Each structure stands twice: as structure tokens, then as C-alpha cells.
Amino acid sequence: MQLVTYERNNQRSTGVLTDAGVVDLPSASHGTIPGDMLRLLQGGAAMLAQAREALGADSPIPLADIQIKAPIAKPGKLLGIGLNYADHAAEGGRKKPDYPLIFAKTVPATIGMGEAIHLPPVSQMVDFEGELAVVIGTLARAVSARDALDYVAGYTICNDVSARDYQRRSGHTPGKSFETFAPLGPVIVTQDEIPDPHALDIRTVVSGQEMQHSNTKQLIFRIPYVIEYLSHIFPLEPGDVITTGTPSGVGAYREPPRFLKAGDTVRIEVEGIGVLENPVVAG
């Protein structure tokens, strides 16, 4: 299933994206399934099973009549893993880390497909990072890597937008937490449809030019290990998002550097999930 948060006549709801449009889940389930994605995910596997059952009960709303929003507007935690692709660590002249480098994106809210990334006037070095993101589905506290994928609801795409000047001056969290720096979506693909999250082609195109092209098989720390590691620090809760790191080709390490400018569009494609595209505007 491809879960979405969408808006119609200024009203937000949850749905499932199908070839014919979006099936509204609260309506198809006669009110059993919440119209809020965080609450839906808190219902765990049972709620996802209900969504699957409800699918046929209502006709899809055409995409032209709705707006797809970020699947989770305010994740309880939005965590990033730094230097998690061998090729990206190498381009920055860094050796492969021994342990995951973890940071929090403390953005006020994520933004969805088509919503603008605002360039903050104080930064001259705003960069893109195309990433596969994991959405937690079940409370995970000190879990083992072997069981870790049981705690995953599904996968989405994140653009881990980064102000490199602030990242260098003040650390990952400020550099990556400016408002609008977390495009997310467009869908959460449930885990059953992604049997191997470590075999997905990933590509970032900025204003028509391919900047990053890799595969999630390049991940240094794989998703089960990352979940094990994080879940021993703090509990991971339904709706928490872990963005798994970016491959080589970011703007900061290009010759010459290529930072985002007003008028750009950033398009991230992840195999099996879809396309997340956002315009860039002056802040």
C-alpha cells in the first residue's frame, strides 16, 4: 500500500494512493481509521490490515481534486544518519565511520511534494541530500537487528536539505533544521512492498541535471543495525522517521560547488517508492 496524507477542500485526511486516485481511509473504513497519519500508524499492524481491507469499499478520488501533503507533518522524531554511504564519505575525504553519526532535524514541520524549500537569507550554502527514509510502525525499545524490520511501517523519501555554512559552524542539527528543510514523501510504501530496502536505486536531479545516482546497497550501516543502535539510546515510536544518509554528489563537494538557488527544482527518485520534487524559492 502507498499511504498518503492529502488535502481536499482545506481538510486533511489519510488515504491509499491507487492507479485511479486516492481512497479516503476514514470514509472507506466508516470512521475506524483515523484521518491523521500519526494516529493511523499508532494503530500498528492491525490498523494497516484494516486499511488493506477497507480499500475496495470506497471509490478513489481523482488526483486532480486533491493535494498530496507530507505523509507525516510533525514526526515525533526526525533523525538523520550522516556519512552513511561509502561513496559520500569518500568524497568528503572522510574515512568510513566506525559507528553511526546521528543527528536530529528539529524542523518545525516537514513539507510535502511540490511545496517550496525556502532559502534562508543568512545561509549562502544550501545543499540537497536525496535519501531513503524509514518510518517506524511499532514502539521499538532496545530491539535486536535481527527483529528490527518488524518495527518498520514502511519507507518514504526525504530531502535532507542542509545549510553547509551553519553545519560547519554550529553542527548538524542547526545546519539541517531551517524551516522547510525536510521535504518528505510523497507516499509511505508499506514494508511488504519493499522486500529488500538495501537494493533500491536512488537518484537526485537538480533543475534537470543528475547530481546523485547510487543504490541503497551502498549503505554502510544497514537499516536493521541502525534501528538496533538507535533503539538502545531511546525508544523509537510509531511515526518516527529515520533518514538513512545520502550518496555522493551533493553540491558542497562538487567542483565548483553547486548550492541551491531560487528557481531550482530538486527531484529525488527512489526505486519502488516514487518521486519527491520540490521547487526552491528565496526565503
Complex with Zn ion: residue 6 or 259, whichever CB lies closer: 259
Shortest Å distance, C-beta 159 to Zn ion: 9
Complex with Zn ion: residue 100 or 186, whichever CB lies closer: 100
Task: Count the site residues for Zn ion by CB under 5 A.
Answer: 4
Complex with Zn ion: residue 190 or 212, whichever CB lies closer: 212
CA distance 83 to 201: 18
| 152 three-class SS | strand
How far does CA 224 lie from the centroid of its chain?
Answer: 17
Question: By beta-carbon distance, which residue lies closest to Zn ion?
Answer: 160
Shortest Å distance, C-beta 144 to Zn ion: 25
Q: How many helices (H) and strands (E) does the chain have?
A: 7, 17
Which residue from 246, 260, 270, 280 is in contact with Zn ion, where contact means CB under 5 A?
246
> What residues from 20 to 79 belong to the interface with Zn ion (CB under 5 A)?
none
What's the DSSP call for residue 47?
H
Q: Which residue type does 279 have?
A: P
Contacts of 168 (CB under 8 A, 6+ apart): 175
Which residue from 24, 127, 160, 228 is in contact with Zn ion, where contact means CB under 5 A?
160
Asked if 129 interacts with Zn ion (CB under 5 A), we say yes
Complex with Zn ion: residue 24 or 160, whichever CB lies closer: 160
Using alpha carbons only, what angle is made at residue 278 by residues 272 and 280, rounded to the nearest 5 degrees? 155
Shortest Å distance, C-beta 114 to Zn ion: 21
Q: Are the beta carbons of 215 and 170 closer than 8 angstroms?
A: no
Complex with Zn ion: residue 21 or 80, whichever CB lies closer: 80
> What residues from 184 to 223 belong to the interface with Zn ion (CB under 5 A)?
none
Complex with Zn ion: residue 80 or 137, whichever CB lies closer: 80
Asked if 228 interacts with Zn ion (CB under 5 A), we say no
Shortest Å distance, C-beta 15 to Zn ion: 28
Q: Phi and psi dihedrals of 49, rounded to 5?
A: -65, -40
Q: Which stretch binds Zn ion (CB under 5 A): 27-35, 227-235, 242-250, 253-261?
A: 242-250
Q: What is the DSSP string of 183-248?
A: BEEEEEEEGGG-S-TTS-EEEEEETTEEEEEEEGGGBSS-HHHHHHHHHTTS-B-TT-EEE----S
Shortest Å distance, C-beta 83 to Zn ion: 9
> What residues from 77 to 96 belong to the interface with Zn ion (CB under 5 A)?
80
Please, how many CA atoms are within 13 Å of residue 242, restricted to the half-sphere of its CB?
31
Asked if 127 interacts with Zn ion (CB under 5 A), we say no
Interface residues with Zn ion (CB under 5 A) are 80, 129, 160, 246
